[in-house]
Amino acid sequence: MEKNNIILIGMPGVGKSTVGVVVAKILGYRFVDSDLVIQETEHRLLHEIIAQEGIDGFIEIENQVNAALEAERSVIATGGSVVYGKEAMEHLRSIGTVVYLKLEYEELLKRLGDLKHRGVVMRDGQTLSDLYRERSVLYEKYAHITVEEIGKSIEETIQAVIQALG
């Protein structure tokens, strides 16, 4: 498998799917939403998996599905919690360029609606701020490229991703 994919990581609400679809269209790539792949594999919605398996069970399923993902010339939008899966992230880094769509916390707060409905993986008592701090370190660790979204429209973010990829 060639290393010719683009993998988008980042917090829920940063626009991984929106940006990913357009980047794929511009480059003539396929678009893959790894959350949809998880749902298809499991025959359940994300929030059902979390409710039935618990957070740790969901993270393990997410790790397995992403670690087994096979793609060529694809833009892959991952779920925000994918960075908890070491095997998944090693695999994704080996098949493409990992791009972290980074948005400041205050802007993220404005974009996010009902977190439970979005299938955001949060432990009891954990705040969005806690989650942001915990995951930001992992996004930075695994990213080949970081694209700052602050002050950018979706169109400007898309252009920044394409420029960063060279």
Half-sphere exposure of 101 (CA within 13 A, CB side): 34
Q: Worst-scoring range by mean pLDDT, 29-33, 88-92, 98-102, 153-157?
A: 153-157
Domains contained in the chain, number: 1
Q: Is residue 49 part of a domain?
A: yes
Tell me the per-residue pLDDT of 80-119, one tens digit each, with 9 for 90 and over: 999 999 999 999 999 999 999 999 998 888 888 666 566 5
Tell me the per-residue pLDDT of 125-152, one tens digit each, with 9 for 90 and over: 888 889 999 999 999 999 999 999 988 9
Return the number of other C-beta atoms located less than 10 Å from residue 156's C-beta: 12
CA 85, CA 38: separation in Å to the nearest integer?
14
The bridge status of strand 5-9 relative to strand 30-33 is: unpaired
CA 164, CA 99: separation in Å to the nearest integer?
9
Whole-number pLDDT of residue 131: 92
Q: Is residue 166 part of a domain?
A: no
The one-letter code for the residue type at 94 is: S
3-state class of 134 per DSSP?
A: helix
Q: Domain of residue 66: give its range.
A: 5-161
Exposed (0-12), middle (13-18) or buried (19+): which is 153, by Cβ within 10 Å?
exposed
**Is there a contact between 72 and 1 (Cβ–Cβ < 8 Å)?**
yes
Residue 9 belongs to domain with CATH number: 3.40.50.300
